[in-house]
């Protein structure tokens, strides 16, 4: 990105006009960049009235993977899949442990217990022990069988050892207060919450270790006896024994092994986190820097007024500020509805700590599921956290002051809430009282309530992409002479032909046919195409074959297989049929059948007007129904029609609107809808008193009556509640098609318009 300073909305507009398509060689990133600039431009124009220096700081969170090469992204994808399988297996194992009376204090839905079991498993699998092939297979399975889980549980028992004492940590005591998750490099000194920085050790040893790094702790306390309670004592390993123990037990986990052998935090690690801009896209942070760049001493690629954050920081603040609880409250109604739909209690779980039900999904449905991603408002929640994160928050969480205890302590005192704790010193037995940080303070007192209210009041907006045709245009750079000097300029080459920006039709080509036995309604045609015979074709499919002789053979053969079409028309089944085809054709010979001609009744259109194209028919491709017209007659009665893509193209080529102002019955167009449009479905009372609807002050109930248009065909219109991003369970939450058909509602719909800033207006 070019270093500069933008002083007005016009500067942003000029940048968008000059932006070269494909210049970043990544269309998704280009779309993100340009849409980000447009949002900033709209905010500047509305809230800042376009005034110079309206923005004094920009906070940004971007994924690190935006700048990674393809191989690295592939590696990350494989790692994500592996992690997901591990999470599912751990949940299943916890459920199995709950049924074991010997294992104490198991809570299958506890994230903390899932984490500790994951560390336990990781420690055993990556030690130097020999692992049997069948156990290794179970350890890579997302959802092992019950018998496999029992076997795996028995194998895991007694195999994890505390890294600082060498003592066995029995699986049946893992979830008791005797053991804790321990950060090898303390979080107070360096923010690393990865699995490679976590081990399990005795709770008393964890207290003694305090903020020491692994090897430094051993060197300071080696040989010391630690009281663990209930008469149990453990001894801290000697330095040479510890080093040998770590090399053996973490042989396959180089990252964790290296951290356990650290005596101090390496300079390189601190420097890496001090320069956080390495982790974000240089391009977009450079572009946004031009908006907030200071007049003096700010000529770097990234402005000092651009504050970069990352996903880990956002997650930490969300948890401490109570926003995960807010999110659960927002989405819980959908999970309660799922309980009703499935006549079960599988989609909520009681939480003793919060004394309320929390959303969840059954284990068998949890692969790939994220409760954050099911609702579009998670983007707004993340943006709010990023906006409220200060430079101090990011400095503290990134450990920029890792080498300065005083500075770090000052920041903690400023940003975090502290609680007093009391305990006996493991070495001296002396009673000690100290204050420990217990999470970040909220930005203001009512922050959590205000956040919930704001998220409930958000109306999501969707970007439309309705460009169907345009003139093909080419832009290129060439040297031109200006005032005797050669300079490079962009030259636009206007096209004369139309470029169609949507697929016209599906790949399959049909031929028009006539069958005496089939009655063809007005406006429809009968077409046929050849398809390979396969296991999907049942009795109903056979009825659609044009050749009645082939129909008879296939029906006879299917009957001989007990009408099991998957068996009959499997590759082996088709071979068997063709070997014995005479027996299914009344003893007469017949050519082997591998492909058959099927007919369809529908509204297909010709492939073209010249040559044999006019005898070939195709059907519209999926997603090409772009305009749904609602017409109204003189009596106020509505009719509905999906405008075919080929009609839209012809009208736009002639400079007309895509939807006719009147239909064939001379009814007037009331309004048109497209996918991603939003509509309001009024109640009976609101229909009778439409003049009382206040579109400037939506109630919470009214916001639940807003839907996003998903698709339409013929006179049928389907939508989904506006906040739904994905379904909780595919083909269950919102019918088999993952959408709701609007039937009676079509007559009373009110079309809404939403801009990038969420301002709503309605169709009059």
Mean pLDDT of 280-309: 80
Contact 200, 169 (CB under 8 A): yes
Mean pLDDT of 464-488: 73
User: Which domain range does residue 183 map to?
Assistant: 70-271
Shared domain for 236 and 91, answered yes or no, is yes
Shared domain for 44 and 89, answered yes or no, is no
Is 96 a domain residue? yes
Shared domain for 329 and 284, answered yes or no, is no
Is 468 a domain residue? no
Q: How many CB atoms lie within 10 A of CB 732?
A: 14
Shared domain for 662 and 553, answered yes or no, is no
Q: How many CB atoms lie within 10 A of CB 761?
A: 12
Number of domains in the chain: 5
Is 377 a domain residue? yes
Segment holding 645, helix H or strand E? helix 645-653
pLDDT of residue 369: 83
pLDDT of residue 536: 83
* Sign of the CA dihedral running 394, 395, 400, 401: negative
Give CA angle at 119 (118, 125), nearest 5°: 90
Question: How long is the chain?
Answer: 764
Of 581, 679, 697, 595, residue with least CA distance to 630: 679
pLDDT of residue 485: 79
Crossing angle of the two packed helices 111-125 and 146-156, in degrees rounded to 10: 70
Shared domain for 228 and 354, answered yes or no, is no
Tens of pLDDT, residues 103-120: 888 887 788 888 898 998
E strands present in 483-522: 485-500, 510-512
Is 90 a domain residue? yes
Label residue 280 by pLDDT band (50, 70, 90). Answer: very low
Distance (Å, rounded) from C-alpha 540 to C-alpha 320?
A: 59
pLDDT of residue 500: 66
Tens of pLDDT, residues 670-729: 999 999 999 999 988 888 887 777 877 888 888 899 999 999 988 899 999 999 999 999
Shared domain for 448 and 315, answered yes or no, is yes
Label residue 474 by pLDDT band (50, 70, 90). Answer: low
Q: Which of 217-231, 459-473, 539-553 has the lowest mean pLDDT?
A: 459-473
Give CA angle at 488 (485, 490), nearest 5°: 135
Backbone dihedral region for residue 322 (phi beyond 0: left; psi -120 to 50: alpha; all else: beta): left
Residue 638 has pLDDT above 60, yes or no: yes
Mean pLDDT value across the chain? 83
pLDDT above 70 covers what percent of the chain? 86
Shared domain for 718 and 758, answered yes or no, is yes
Q: Which of 39-48, 260-269, 674-683, 742-751 has the lowest mean pLDDT?
A: 260-269
Helices (H), 265-404: 267-274, 282-292, 311-320, 323-342, 378-388, 391-397
pLDDT of residue 421: 84
Instruction: Give the 3-state secondary structure of 33-53.
Output: HHHHHHHHHHHHHHHCCCCCC
Residue 400 has pLDDT above 50, yes or no: no
For the record, the structure tokens of 374 come out as 């099911």
Label residue 528 by pLDDT band (50, 70, 90). Answer: confident
Shared domain for 215 and 364, answered yes or no, is no
- Residue 17, classed as helix, strand or coil, is helix
Is 490 a domain residue? no
Shared domain for 315 and 227, answered yes or no, is no
Which residues lie below 8 Å from residue 25, measured CB to CB, with a gap of 6+? Answer: none
Q: Which of 160-164, 393-397, 491-495, 626-630 has the lowest mean pLDDT?
A: 491-495
Is 652 a domain residue? yes
pTM assigned to the model: 0.66
pLDDT of residue 264: 79
Label residue 298 by pLDDT band (50, 70, 90). Answer: confident
Contact 301, 289 (CB under 8 A): yes
Contact 730, 705 (CB under 8 A): no
Contact 729, 739 (CB under 8 A): no
Tens of pLDDT, residues 352-380: 887 899 999 988 888 778 888 899 999 99
Mean pLDDT of 60-70: 60
Q: Across-strand partners of 233? A: 227
pLDDT of residue 106: 85
CA dihedral angle for residue 286, residue 289, residue 295, residue 296, rounded to 10 degrees? -60
Shared domain for 189 and 91, answered yes or no, is yes
* Sign of the CA dihedral running 320, 324, 329, 332: negative
Of 465, 645, 472, residue with least CA distance to 27: 465
Residue 82 has pLDDT above 90, yes or no: no
């Amino acid at each position: 990105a070019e270093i500069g300073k933008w002083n007005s909305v016009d500067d942003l507009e000029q940048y968008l006009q000059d932006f070269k398509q494909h210049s970043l060689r990544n269309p998704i990133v280009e779309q993100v960049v340009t849409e980000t600039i447009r949002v900033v431009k709209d905010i500047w124009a509305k809230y800042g009235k376009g005034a110079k220096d309206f923005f004094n700081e920009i906070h940004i969170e971007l994924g690190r993977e935006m700048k990674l090469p393809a191989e690295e992204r592939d590696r990350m994808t494989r790692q994500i899949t592996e992690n997901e399988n591990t999470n599912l297996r751990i949940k299943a194992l916890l459920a199995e442990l709950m049924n074991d009376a010997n294992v104490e204090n198991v809570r299958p839905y506890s994230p903390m217990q899932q984490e500790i079991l994951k560390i336990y498993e990781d420690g055993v699998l990556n030690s130097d022990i020999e692992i049997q092939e069948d156990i290794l297979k179970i350890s890579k399975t997302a959802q092992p069988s019950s018998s496999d889980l029992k076997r795996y549980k028995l194998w895991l028992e007694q195999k994890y050892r505390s890294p600082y004492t060498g003592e066995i940590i029995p699986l049946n005591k893992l979830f008791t207060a005797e053991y804790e998750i321990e950060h090898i490099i303390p979080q107070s000194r360096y923010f690393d919450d990865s699995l490679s920085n976590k081990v399990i050790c005795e709770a008393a040893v964890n207290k003694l270790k305090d903020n020491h790094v692994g090897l430094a702790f051993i060197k300071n306390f080696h040989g010391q006896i630690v009281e663990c309670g209930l008469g149990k004592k453990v001894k801290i390993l000697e330095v040479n024994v510890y080093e040998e123990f770590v090399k053996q037990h973490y042989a396959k986990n180089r990252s964790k092994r290296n951290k356990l052998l650290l005596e101090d935090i390496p300079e390189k690690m601190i420097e890496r986190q001090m320069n956080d801009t390495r982790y974000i896209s240089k391009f977009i942070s450079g572009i946004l820097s031009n908006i907030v760049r200071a007049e003096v001493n700010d000529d770097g690629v990234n402005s000092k007024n651009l504050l970069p954050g990352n996903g880990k920081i956002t997650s930490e603040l969300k948890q401490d500020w109570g926003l995960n609880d807010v999110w659960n409250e927002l989405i819980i109604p959908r999970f309660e509805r799922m309980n009703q739909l499935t006549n079960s209690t599988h989609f909520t779980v009681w939480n003793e700590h919060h004394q309320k039900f929390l959303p969840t999904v059954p284990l068998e449905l949890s692969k790939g599921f994220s409760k954050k991603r099911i609702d579009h408002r998670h983007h707004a929640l993340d943006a709010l956290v990023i906006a409220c994160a200060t430079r101090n928050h990011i400095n503290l969480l990134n450990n920029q002051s890792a080498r300065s205890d005083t500075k770090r302590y000052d920041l903690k005192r400023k940003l975090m809430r502290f609680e007093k704790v009391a305990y006996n010193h493991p070495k001296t037995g002396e009673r000690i009282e100290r204050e420990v940080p217990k999470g970040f303070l909220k930005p203001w007192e009512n922050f959590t309530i205000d956040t919930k209210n704001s998220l409930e009041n958000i109306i999501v907006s969707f970007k439309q992409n309705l460009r169907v045709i345009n003139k093909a245009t080419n832009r290129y750079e060439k040297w031109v002479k200006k005032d005797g000097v050669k300079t490079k300029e962009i030259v636009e080459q206007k096209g004369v032909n139309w470029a169609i920006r949507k697929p016209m039709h599906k790949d399959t080509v049909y031929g028009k046919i006539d069958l005496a036995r089939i009655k063809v309604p007005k406006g429809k045609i009968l077409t046929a195409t050849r398809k390979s015979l396969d296991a999907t074709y049942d009795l109903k499919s056979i009825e659609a074959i044009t050749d009645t002789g082939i129909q008879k053979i296939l029906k006879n053969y299917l009957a001989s297989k007990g009408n099991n079409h998957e068996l009959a028309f499997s590759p082996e089944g088709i071979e068997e049929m063709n070997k014995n085809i005479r027996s299914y054709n009344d003893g007469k010979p017949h050519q082997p059948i591998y492909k058959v001609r099927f007919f369809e009744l529908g509204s297909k259109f010709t492939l073209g007007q010249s040559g044999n194209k006019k005898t070939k028919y195709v059907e519209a491709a999926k997603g090409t129904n772009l305009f749904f017209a609602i017409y109204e007659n003189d009596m106020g009665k509505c009719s509905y029609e999906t405008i075919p893509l080929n009609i839209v193209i012809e009208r736009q080529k002639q400079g007309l609107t895509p939807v006719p102002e009147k239909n064939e019955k001379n009814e007037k167009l009331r309004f048109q809808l497209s996918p991603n449009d939003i509509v309001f479905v009024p109640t009976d009372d609101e229909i009778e008193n439409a003049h009382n609807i206040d579109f400037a002050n939506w109630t919470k109930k009214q916001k639940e009556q807003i839907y996003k248009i998903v698709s339409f065909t013929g006179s049928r219109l389907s939508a989904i509640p506006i906040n739904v991003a994905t379904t909780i369970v595919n083909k269950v939450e919102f019918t088999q098609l993952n959408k709701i058909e609007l039937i009676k509602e079509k007559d009373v719909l009110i079309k809404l318009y939403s801009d990038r800033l969420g301002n709503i207006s309605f169709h009059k």
